[in-house]
Chains A and B, each alone.
Chain A
Amino acid sequence: MRIAVKYCGNCNPEINSPRIIGQWMETLKDDEITFGPEGKTPADLLIIICGCRKGCVDRQEVRAMGRQVILIKGRWMGGLSLAENELGHQLIQRVESMRGALRRNAK
């Protein structure tokens, strides 16, 4: 799967985004990961990870970089407020469930 990760810039984040992404990446096997190059063909999945709820990088043209999008804004993910140490785990689960959905669609 081609997965793109887009960081917000992390000026004053309330979470450690690289740590969360690192934790998730340890679970991957043969996915192709890119870090937010714009203008290419959309990735299968885009993870937008913002350091706080402001979510500076959650913009239309950024969302267009992925066919499916997972959005993290500070401790907020999928409409839920989570503890920071739950975010990595939640991200792993969401990516896997999207992977499953993509496989099913491909069939």
Chain B
Amino acid sequence: MTAVPPTVPPTAALIADGLPAPVPEEAAPAGRLRLVLGRMLASRGVLAGGAIVLLLFLLAFGGPLLTPWNYATPDYLAIRQSPSGQHWFGTNGLGQDVFAQTVRGLQKSLVIGLLVAFFSTVAASLVGACAGYFGGWTDRALTFLVDLMLVFPSFLIITIISPKLRGTGWIAFVALLAAFNWMITARVVRSMTRSLKEREFVRAAQFMGVRPLRIILRHILPNVASFLITDATIAVGAAVMSETALSYFGFGVRAPDVSLGTLLAAGTDQAPVFPWLFYFAAGLLVLFVLAINLIGDGLRDALDPTSEGTRPARKSRTPRSGK
């Protein structure tokens, strides 16, 4: 056989190469779940990350109930006050309660992060699996689309479009973020699908006469699931980072909505003098993304049997062709 030139454009090969081996799972749900759970619980990163994420969610959705202040209503008696028993995170220049605002912003950022990760993962798995499974022109067209969308940093495109979305609210912003966030995952799914397609259990299904869509649903997607779960987790963190960045520059969430990004934007100039306007939001942002990344990393180790220390012993195989 001739050596195959790398047909994957560089950006794709990145993650594809990063995976130890495409679709390495060798185990099944029942026994697997226990194994995976066991490994995850054994990882301090996952435990810590999980705990933090849980707390932040509680804070984001329970926080508004704890404070008498509303995020938008000013307290004219307290302008730019430092944190106190009354205003836990202090107040801003308009006298709004920073705790209420931060909690509100956190809520929005979390929701946006989750939704973007969900939609982009769904899109990525569909596009990737179809491109990989059907090959030929479907593959070529989808690959070109993916390459095309990766020519520009998505920030530029989102920024250009976002003025058009003024007045449509944050849901449109979610759609926009998701629309520019699936390409790399799709590439990985594509390359995993391609190698799954060569796997004997897929071949066996083909020779039994199982129809393609059924094969994708029953054999391909379940076998890339663990990658998708890990990837989606990390995508939540990435989406929150994109959201805050865009909102910071005024291209994302806009008033009257509040997100961590808008809070940071509002607080930046005053940060040196009135740190509470900036650092609470900044801290929560980093904390959340960090926790998500820790979970993602732990998940990857737990879901991937080839990760450190669990690599199965090399087995002797039958002859392989030389070149």
The yes or no verdict on A and B being binding partners is: no
B interface list, Cβ under 8 A from A: none
